[in-house]
Structure 1
């Protein structure tokens, strides 16, 4: 049987917050190990003659807080081989105390007995200062973990571990992604310790201007009310859509179905692509929002029909990403994009239980634009070696299909003409793939080029006091050639 580890909470800092049980344990101990001596109650305990040893030296020796906490936990576990240990931490042991969590994991694996004597934490001290009851909703966030702990603006939050101005600056910048710069926050130092307690309401952008913040400092951020422009999150969007679909909501939204929304989903997708083509980031934000609305809309309809909700959608795609990236979330690392893509396809086949290559082709969605679907079909076929050796082979196939179309295009065999025209387009897509050109994008560029040249023709016709419909085909063809020359001159200037 190993030795015993007793973890005691020293309270928020006032000697009046020390519990009777903690004091009794300290009195019967030969020595107390302290995570840090930088705690107001330590001087009081020293004045009573108690023997204490601080672990503060690890903060100077290590490069990160995680390394410090690991070192402290390892040190204590090593000492437990020879003696019982009483370990004192600020506040309460199970509130924002990472060394305690690490000790619990290590002690259990070594079979050591553990006793925890709780105390008043700094959180209770903050409640006293603010005269707030957390029953209305409270989120506690580690200021050093804001990169993945996201604040919920619909409830009060307390940000802990505001160690210094540098940490405060990082916290400020991260919170500004959720709150306005002028948003009122309360900065609280030494909550519950009258001798050092300091409370100041400031605007968020002023947080790192306060020179007095230290290891006893936390920040209280009240939930956002209607007085402020709200920074919305995914949950808010889901709630808004649920309201729009309610009896008190919008009649148009209420009558929509999965089927009726199909054209809007396609439309919004293409508008996102257009924003990307135009490299318009401001428009892209708006269009991505419109596309996201369609996804939330479909999810809300599914909720009402009892099938799934938005959380199911998010969980599903998250699990898929983790499963299909074993080279990121697992041990099989990939260093090239080709290797990563191959791993993705491999995991996709396993996930879908695709047993034949034909099944893989059939899974390519039919509603895709025909050029895109053709491109994907040919890529999958090429992946197993069903492909030309070079682009020349693909080009010869285009010529072959063109000849076959020329043989039938003047006949009355409409089905045959359709078939041969489809074969020609398919062959052209194959050639585009060899040239590493997305046929959908190439055709869209040509569409835009046609519109620009047509606009030039129409404008030039006006300078001739005529309209296109009044001109002969030969006259319009001359304007078309002029438009091509005009465009080429512009390009020449661009590349000089």
Structure 2
């Protein structure tokens, strides 16, 4: 098997080229370069060193991945016939995808690699910026990175920012987290005699003339808490501070039990914003729900039982395990099959040896009897305990209603309670059959009543100022006015 030697051309000009690398280039019989657009290659050409570039491959594809894959495929075909050298900018193992693809090919036994040195662009970048990487830094590819990957509290270096378009894409991605006037530094040809540094506000990043294939964009770490409010770790620090020794007395005293009602209230308030299709308030209310999650996580950490990472691991593991059609090789053709797989996986998770868990286990909700009723009936329906048509549901409701009416006349408080419970249970089942959330319906009815009664109260206060001064018919007239003013949606 012939050998493919990969060598790094360094990060800057010929003066910075390592002597060992220079000698190997002189001795090589056949040299291929990913791109000719590198200052070292101009000097090598004047000394009679010949090389062949893959620049023409870039013109054939719209994305970089197929470019790199074609380069690798071509190199593999060449090395079948003879030993060759492949030269890349910087160091072969730093931000060079073609080399990573070749390493994968080596693992598969397709090629024998010899990877030589070459200064990466990182050392001259750190030197130009006068920063110590021990503080923590991220190196990302400007063509593929996501704002979700960025840690605003670390040094951020963005490579592959080679023209105005790529700079514009980087700018838009960064503005998902950073303010538009956050300072960023454009570093060009670091370590060479042509080294240039220019610091601009983020919104001007794609207007800088210095951007070329030797450009790296540097984003300094955020040191002001108020500038890092889009960072998850900032919110976690806020909650930890609130619960800490110098924090808020109220937050310090909270327990899982004391926060239960707040969790329920915040979820209901969010559901209301969904009904109102109010995006701005959705953001606010989801933040309040998230606050409850982080508070419970912090309490768990303070007490030494669990922390936020435990929660993330548990839910991530569950989502991967319950979606084998996404994260594994299971095939599904419909939502019904997805649901069937989900239930099958849940039963397997809850299995206790050979004794299956009761079907209704885990469906009780202490904070909502309506939701518990819905959960029970949904679970029973999934195993076939269900009317064959909606007629059966309505007949059951009529039966339970008549039984309640009978107990109103002839029964005791206990039997009336029992029969009225059956009526409510059947109503929840009707709601489930027609894909209505009984919980949401009740919340909507409560809001509607509060709104209309508020109007009635306002009329009373504007008039005789005492409910007792009005007949029921007069109060009911106010109620009807409220209905006309707000419609059925209020």
TM-score calculated relative to the size of structure 2: 0.93
Over 3 Å counting, the alpha-carbon distance change for 1:487 and 1:193 in structure 2 is: closer
Match of 1:418 in 2: 417
Q: 1:148 offset after TM fit, Å?
A: 6.6
- Aligned partners of 2:147 and 2:176 also within 8 Å: no
For residues 198-227 of structure 1, the C-alpha deviation after alignment (integer angstroms, 9 at most, x for no partner) is 321110000111244122111011111239
Q: 1:162 offset after TM fit, Å?
A: 0.3
Match of 2:23 in 1: 24
- Aligned partners of 1:9 and 1:88 also within 8 Å: yes
Of the candidates 313, 322, 325, which is equivalent to residue 323 of structure 2?
325
Q: 1:176 offset after TM fit, Å?
A: 0.7
For residues 134-168 of structure 1, the C-alpha deviation after alignment (integer angstroms, 9 at most, x for no partner) is 22221111111222762111111111110211111
Q: Distance in 2 between matches of 1:326 and 1:407?
A: 52
Residue correspondence of structure 1 range 76-225 to structure 2 within 5 A: 76-110=75-109, 112-147=111-146, 150-195=149-194, 197-225=195-223
Task: Give the paired residue count.
Answer: 489
- Aligned partners of 1:77 and 1:107 also within 8 Å: no
- Aligned partners of 2:186 and 2:199 also within 8 Å: yes
For residues 281-308 of structure 1, the C-alpha deviation after alignment (integer angstroms, 9 at most, x for no partner) is 2222122112112111111222222222
Match of 1:395 in 2: 394
Q: Distance in 1 between matches of 2:12 and 2:58?
A: 20
Q: 1:181 offset after TM fit, Å?
A: 0.5
Q: Distance in 2 between matches of 1:432 and 1:227?
A: 48
**Secondary structure at 1:260 match in 2:** coil
Q: Distance in 1 between matches of 2:481 and 2:225?
A: 59
Q: 1:175 offset after TM fit, Å?
A: 0.4
Residue correspondence of structure 1 range 90-489 to structure 2 within 5 A: 90-110=89-109, 112-147=111-146, 150-195=149-194, 197-226=195-224, 229-334=227-332, 336-353=334-351, 359-411=358-410, 413-462=412-461, 464-465=463-464, 467-484=466-483
- Aligned partners of 1:181 and 1:205 also within 8 Å: yes
Moved more, 473-482 or 279-288: 473-482
Moved more, 308-317 or 221-230: 221-230
Q: Distance in 2 between matches of 1:184 and 1:482?
A: 58
Q: Distance in 1 between matches of 2:376 and 2:447?
A: 26
Over 3 Å counting, the alpha-carbon distance change for 1:485 and 1:89 in structure 2 is: closer
Q: Distance in 2 between matches of 1:201 and 1:481?
A: 66
**Secondary structure at 2:233 match in 1:** helix
Q: Distance in 2 between matches of 1:483 and 1:19?
A: 84
Over 3 Å counting, the alpha-carbon distance change for 1:486 and 1:29 in structure 2 is: closer
Structure 2 gaps, min length 5? none
Q: Distance in 2 between matches of 1:235 and 1:482?
A: 51
**Secondary structure at 1:202 match in 2:** strand
Q: Distance in 2 between matches of 1:254 and 1:462?
A: 42
- Aligned partners of 1:153 and 1:224 also within 8 Å: yes
Over 3 Å counting, the alpha-carbon distance change for 1:151 and 1:363 in structure 2 is: same
Match of 1:56 in 2: 55
Q: 1:351 offset after TM fit, Å?
A: 2.9
Q: Distance in 2 between matches of 1:316 and 1:56?
A: 47
Could you list the structure 1 runs, at least 4 aligned residues long, displaced by more than 4 angstroms after superposition. Answer: 354-358, 481-488
Q: 1:445 offset after TM fit, Å?
A: 2.1
For residues 237-284 of structure 1, the C-alpha deviation after alignment (integer angstroms, 9 at most, x for no partner) is 222222222223333322222222222222222222222223222222
**Secondary structure at 1:367 match in 2:** coil
Q: Distance in 2 between matches of 1:427 and 1:126?
A: 70
Q: Distance in 2 between matches of 1:112 and 1:358?
A: 54
Q: Distance in 2 between matches of 1:227 and 1:436?
A: 45
**Secondary structure at 2:149 match in 1:** coil
For residues 65-95 of structure 1, the C-alpha deviation after alignment (integer angstroms, 9 at most, x for no partner) is 1111111112212222221121111001111
- Aligned partners of 1:79 and 1:85 also within 8 Å: yes
Q: Distance in 1 between matches of 2:226 and 2:438?
A: 48
For residues 419-466 of structure 1, the C-alpha deviation after alignment (integer angstroms, 9 at most, x for no partner) is 111111011111112222211222222222222332333334456535
TM-score calculated relative to the size of structure 1: 0.92
Over 3 Å counting, the alpha-carbon distance change for 1:467 and 1:358 in structure 2 is: farther
Q: Distance in 1 between matches of 2:466 and 2:326?
A: 61
Over 3 Å counting, the alpha-carbon distance change for 1:148 and 1:87 in structure 2 is: farther
- Aligned partners of 1:238 and 1:310 also within 8 Å: no
Moved more, 243-252 or 378-387: 243-252
Structure 1 gaps, min length 5? none
Over 3 Å counting, the alpha-carbon distance change for 1:383 and 1:76 in structure 2 is: same
Q: Distance in 1 between matches of 2:103 and 2:478?
A: 82
For residues 298-339 of structure 1, the C-alpha deviation after alignment (integer angstroms, 9 at most, x for no partner) is 112222222221112112212221221122222334454333
Q: 1:342 offset after TM fit, Å?
A: 3.1
**Secondary structure at 1:91 match in 2:** coil
Q: Distance in 1 between matches of 2:484 and 2:35?
A: 78
- Aligned partners of 2:228 and 2:234 also within 8 Å: no
Q: Distance in 2 between matches of 1:51 and 1:375?
A: 76
Q: Distance in 1 between matches of 2:408 and 2:10?
A: 90
